[in-house]
């Protein structure tokens, strides 16, 4: 039997066919899950709908996660359609591209606010709305982070701060939601060629450096990250919450 047969999962963050969220959607669907995908604007909708159709996903919802009204509408639609669900995947982040080029100290106040709101607070806002749907099935929430939350990655700048806030949020949410049986975890993926990564200055250098110095001497693939998400949302991870699981070919363990 497929691991997620009879399960329902909402995946936020599919931007194109290179997205981590898309790799997760494909893996979940292959394992029998019924899915809902979202898009933040019309430009992304044009990419998401054909992808959804290609794997037989009928539920595609608009949701700009910085807008409370749209969050309410999206989770209201999920409640009306499903009543209950088993997994929520939060795979989205944003920072102004110009703020990922210079020095972190020069980050404007508004850019800082936007990065923290979209990249970190959105998980809190989504978890609050998802809890009533997840609790009856003792469901799971998974988000995506990066090593820049723990260590200085040149040019990652304000995104590193946002990811650090995201990881702290995972731990606090794990405590809050744990009494209802809902688990909250994060995956710290190695560098991958995604739409958001394209905005980081020197990203190709990051890829080469990671591949040269990681214990496995390579970079990871979106499919490997999707496999970790599958584990965290499956019964096999029933006792795991509040964790940051590194899927980076081991790069995070290196000191020199």
Q: Which residues are catalytic?
A: 146, 156
The residue among 9, 4, 37, 5 whose CA lies nearest residue 140 is 9
Q: Which residues pair with 184 in a beta bridge?
A: 141
The residue among 167, 186, 168 whose CA lies nearest residue 88 is 186
Q: What is the SS3 assignment for 184?
A: strand
Strands 140-145 and 87-90: parallel
For residues 136 and 127, what is the distance between their CA atoms, to the nearest angstrom?
A: 14
The residue among 12, 7, 54 whose CA lies nearest residue 32 is 7
For residues 142 and 228, what is the distance between their CA atoms, to the nearest angstrom?
A: 10
211-215 long-range contacts (CB < 8 A, ≥24 apart) are 211/249, 213/251, 213/254, 214/190, 214/248, 214/249, 214/250, 214/251, 214/254, 215/249, 215/250, 215/251, 215/253, 215/254
């Amino acid at each position: 039997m497929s691991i997620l047969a009879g399960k329902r999962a909402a995946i936020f963050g599919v931007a194109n066919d290179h997205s981590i969220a898309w790799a997760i959607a494909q893996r979940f669907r292959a394992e029998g899950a019924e899915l809902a995908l979202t898009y933040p604007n019309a430009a992304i909708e044009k990419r998401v709908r054909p992808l959804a159709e290609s794997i037989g996903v009928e539920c595609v919802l608009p949701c700009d996660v910085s807008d409370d009204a749209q969050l309410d509408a999206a989770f209201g639609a999920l409640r009306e359609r499903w009543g209950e669900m088993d997994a929520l995947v939060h795979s989205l982040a944003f920072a102004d591209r110009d703020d990922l080029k210079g020095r972190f100290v020069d980050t404007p106040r508004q850019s800082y606010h936007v990065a923290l709101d979209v990249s970190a607070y959105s998980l809190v806002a989504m978890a609050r709305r998802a809890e009533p749907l997840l609790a009856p099935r003792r469901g799971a929430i998974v988000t995506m982070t990066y090593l820049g939350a723990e260590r200085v990655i040149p040019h990652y700048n304000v995104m590193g701060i946002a990811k650090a806030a995201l990881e702290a949020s995972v731990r606090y949410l794990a405590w809050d939601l744990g009494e209802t049986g809902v688990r909250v975890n994060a995956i710290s993926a190695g560098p991958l060629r995604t739409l958001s990564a394209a905005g980081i200055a020197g990203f190709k250098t990051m890829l080469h450096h990671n591949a040269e110095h990681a214990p496995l001497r390579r970079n990871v693939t979106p499919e490997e990250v999707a496999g970790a998400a599958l584990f965290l949302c499956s019964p096999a991870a029933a006792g795991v919450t509040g964790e940051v699981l590194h899927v980076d070919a081991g790069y995070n363990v290196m000191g020199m």
